Structure 1
């Protein structure tokens, strides 16, 4: 049970920080026992975690594609462009779903 710093993000996700102290179980220099305990918890509620940043980026890209489709529907002869954007939106929806599942798995894992 070695001690590490930990950073908590706005969404509740966390990141392990730097190593701080050995526990009584581990006597070898430079080695840890494998169990992590929190020594200092830095709450960084102003930042998003890595997964939340990816989700926000993909949501922004999705919104841009939706706006393009709305604009192209008023124009004529843009059927192929609209279909391509709809494919991009469905791919982005799938990626966003996978990222949200990953975030949920990280939150439930201990």
Structure 2
């Protein structure tokens, strides 16, 4: 039951902050008992790092889709289009994985 700061972003992402107080159960200096309680919650105004990474990847996918659309109209770039489409699939997989991790973190309690 030691006390820590708690950071919370608008999207629901959170993390433990700095150590603030030791509970009476732990008698050793500098040690914690293992149970974390919130001392103070700080609401962060900006986007969390996970959401920022997801938005960057989504913008990159949108750009690649525009490029593929343009290249399809131009013709004779079949290899480039195929390579870009594979990259889009990889990025979509990464985005889905990041969203999955984000949702798990929002609903979990870390120790």
* TM-score w.r.t. length of structure 1: 0.94
Q: Distance in 2 between matches of 1:106 and 1:15?
A: 9
Residue 79 of structure 2 corresponds to which residue in structure 1?
A: 80
Could you list the per-position Cα deviations for residues 71-109 of structure 1 after superposition, in whole angstroms to 9, with x for gaps in the alignment?
A: 111112111111011001100110011011101111221
Which sections of structure 1, spanning at least 5 residues, go unmatched?
none
Residue 34 of structure 1 corresponds to which residue in structure 2?
A: 34
Could you list the per-position Cα deviations for residues 26-81 of structure 1 after superposition, in whole angstroms to 9, with x for gaps in the alignment?
A: 1111111111111111111x211221111111111111111111111111211111
3-state SS of paired residue (1:37): strand
Question: Alignment RMSD, CA only?
Answer: 0.9
Residue 22 of structure 1 corresponds to which residue in structure 2?
A: 22
Which sections of structure 2, spanning at least 5 residues, go unmatched?
none
Equivalenced residue count is 109
3-state SS of paired residue (2:79): helix
Q: Distance in 1 between matches of 2:98 and 2:2?
A: 30
Q: Distance in 2 between matches of 1:28 and 1:74?
A: 71
Instruction: Report the CA distance between 1:8 and its aligned residue.
Output: 0.6
3-state SS of paired residue (2:82): helix
Is 1:89–2:85 an aligned residue pair?
no
Q: Distance in 1 between matches of 2:10 and 2:105?
A: 14
